[in-house]
Amino acid sequence: MDVSAESLMTLTAVLREGTFEAAAASLHVTPSAVSQRIKALEHSVGRILVRRVKPVTATPDGEILARLGEQWSLLVAEAQGELTGIAHGPAGVAQVTDPRRLPRVSIQIACNADSLATWFLPVIAEYHDAHPVDIDLHRDDESVTTALLRAGDVVGAVTSDPVVVRGCETVELGSLRYFPVASSAFIERWLPNGARARDLRFAPMVMFDHNDHLQLKALNHLVPEPVSPPITYIPAAAEYRRAIQAGIGWGAVPEVEIDDVHTGAGLVRLSRKPVDIPLYWQYWKLRSPLVTALTDIVVAHARAELVPPRRGTPPVPGIARR
């Protein structure tokens, strides 16, 4: 199998831009040249790599090489930074001539909205402060962020999926704890006798978006029998909580926000039973100093802020347990 850096960059450009024509423009070549490179790559590996639709999408085999292409780009950018931004002293020790002038490396990360609102933003701040990186954060539900990792769109993802993506490592971070809550006025109107199935059938529920399985899990925690309440979708973490405070509906909110005197004002717990969502950090299996540093920071903050992982969780190679 003959896979060149040029062919990988062409493949990632096609998937990023969505068409052969747009990829050609970004690479400063002709659409014919892009088409020939993709065909040659497919011939070399003996697999169809892209679906020729609009926008162009990767086949499962194409996702593997697309991820390889993104990894190659990251390693090249890191090498460029070392070659052009670091001078070596007489003892061979790397010395940064001027940290502000270091070439910046673009890092793509996926994270769910509640983690970003509660514990993940300090991760980005620490990482950004310690390394010359430009961070591109993809926000999505924790149950679907691995799709971005599988496609090679991100180097790492906070996810609730314990199944390891091919070519990646994973570490259990801990659980983000939620409680179902509502405003006092909402409870008085819709749930005067508590969270009973006969009332929850009619009491409006707030969901983040159509991928929000957390609220359904919270509903199952409240009542064992299936009910289908009216739903209002509020796809933003802060506005989601404020919608509950405004009486639009009930929903599950992170415990840390409920306990805060400001963010938790007016929220009443519907149950003492928590809803714990286990979170994992999945990241490229790559000898990259930037990916390793990011993983160390993610794990350290998660160990400090989340409900600890269950006992007996095996350690991840290369990552110190905290």
pTM above 0.85, yes or no: no
pLDDT at 207: 95
Q: What percent of the chain has pLDDT over 70?
A: 88
Instruction: Tell me what the pLDDT averaged over the chain comes to.
Output: 85
Q: Which amino acid, 62? A: G
Decide: 237 and 101 in contact? Cβ < 8 Å: no
pLDDT at 167: 81
pLDDT at 98: 59
Q: Which long-range contacts (CB under 8 A, 24 or more apart) does 265-270 make?
A: 266/183, 266/184, 267/181, 267/182, 267/183, 267/241, 268/181, 268/182, 268/183, 268/184, 268/187, 269/179, 269/180, 269/181, 270/179, 270/180, 270/181, 270/182, 270/187, 270/191, 270/194, 270/195, 270/222
pLDDT < 70: residue spans in the chain: 1, 80-103, 311-322
Domain 5-60 has CATH 1.10.10.10: yes
pLDDT at 90: 45
Closest CA to 217 of 268, 275, 290: 275
Q: Where are the domains of the chain?
A: 5-60, 106-322
Looking at 3.40.190.290, 3.10.150.10, 3.40.50.970, 3.30.70.2740, the CATH number of the domain 106-322 comes to 3.40.190.290
